[in-house]
Amino acid sequence: MRELTIGKNDAGQRLDRFVAKSLPLLPPALLQKYIRIKRIKCNGQRCQRDQRLVVGDVLQLYINDEFFDQPREDNLFLTLFQPKLDILYEDENLLLLDKRPGLVVHADETEKVNTLINHIQAYLYQKREWNPRWENAFTPALCNRIDRNTGGIVIAAKNAETLRIINDKIRDREITKKYLCVVLGNMTPPQGELSCFLLKDEGKKEVSVYHRPVPGGKSAVTLYRTLARKGELSLMEAELLTGRTHQIRASFADAGHPLLGDGKYGRGDVNRRYGETRQALYSYFLRFDFPTEAGILSYLRGKTFQVDRVPFAEKYFPGASWEQ
């Protein structure tokens, strides 16, 4: 329990607003709950959220110590009272999540709080599976990333051994990942492989495509097959044999068939005509192949996971099948 004494500069404020200012990490909904259940008291008595504070009032706060910290990037998860996650699978070692388009996975210059990793940490903290104050606590971490405007499956590790194994399996191509996307035009042939070299420009946050080795360039190989066609649009499945930044988006654009809605590599006139502001790209399928030893994750060998819905596929290709 901690106490806060009201001085003359704080007198006259509403109790809930004073506490919110004093504890910026405490979510507003949790603050109101703590007032109701008397984990916040004034002068040892039950208090009201809208009561006005006077000089000399003493607030008793029966609140976890971490909420008294100053906001930092590593504790902003505390501000998420109701973490929002679409969980495909969970066990003691990992989570598989269906990330919605528009949500960033990690904090960037545009968003610090509403990130996938913060929602994961808030979820596990509230389940009491994890607390950053525990000695030698492993901070839950993402094993793979997808772009803000791409949706689909993301793997989160609950412990260091899982993170190490999954990272090794991704590097050794022992995990199969497939995407759905909508592209402009009809791919010829309807099934094949896109191979190129991608050179990343960190300043512009985009990649350039080359068909010969270039200094700093990385090879990129994508398998594709056409699932459906309708007018000028095609529904494609893409499988990554390498995992490069913007690989699918840049490779299809280079082939003359950019993704619908792609503001970086696509066609602005077509995107505006369809009213699409996000690339039609979804990581919809994952399989843990694990042909070699997988340690504590051996039980996942051969298991497959698939999202239930891909909104843009349902919108433009109703009735099309992509079940594995």
Give the CATH number, domain containing residue 51.
3.10.290.10
Same domain, 82 and 45: no
The CATH number that applies at residue 135 is: 3.30.2350.10
Gyration radius of the chain over CA positions? 25
Verify that 188 and 249 share a domain, yes or no: yes
Same domain, 312 and 179: yes
Residue 43 domain-assigned? yes
| Domain housing 161 | 76-171
Does 321 reside within a domain? no
Place of tokens 């005509």: 273
Q: Which of 123, 138, 171 is the last residue of a domain?
A: 171
Residue 324 domain-assigned?
no
Q: Is residue 160 part of a domain?
A: yes
160 and 109 in a common domain: yes
Rounded to an integer, what distance in angstroms lies between the CA atom of residue 289 and that of residue 214?
32
152 in a domain, yes or no? Answer: yes
For residue range 74-112, list pLDDT tens digits in order: 778 888 878 999 999 999 999 999 999 999 998 777 777
Residue 17 belongs to a domain: yes
> Is residue 153, in this structure, part of any structural domain at all?
yes
287 lies in the same domain as 185:
yes
Q: Identify the DSSP state of 16.
A: H
Q: Please tell me whether residues 188 and 128 are part of one structural domain.
A: no
Pairing of strands 58-61, 40-42: antiparallel
The reply to whether 143 falls in a domain is: yes
pTM, entire model: 0.80
The pLDDT profile of the chain, 324 residues, written as one tens digit per residue, is 889 899 888 889 999 989 988 888 888 888 999 999 999 999 999 999 999 999 999 999 999 888 887 767 777 888 887 899 999 999 999 999 999 999 999 877 777 778 999 999 999 988 989 988 786 778 999 999 899 999 999 999 999 999 999 999 999 999 999 999 999 999 999 999 999 999 999 888 899 999 999 999 999 999 999 999 999 999 999 999 998 999 999 999 999 999 999 999 999 999 999 999 999 999 999 999 999 999 999 999 999 999 999 999 999 999 888 766
Q: How far is CA 132 from CA 37, 68, 118, 125, in A?
A: 26, 14, 13, 8
Number of domains composing the chain: 3
User: Looking at the structure, do residues 231 and 139 belong to the same domain, yes or no?
Assistant: no
> Which of 171, 187, 211 finishes a domain?
171
Q: What is the tens place of the pLDDT at every residue in 260-303? A: 999 999 999 999 999 999 999 999 999 999 999 999 999 999 99
Contact 261, 277 (CB under 8 A): yes
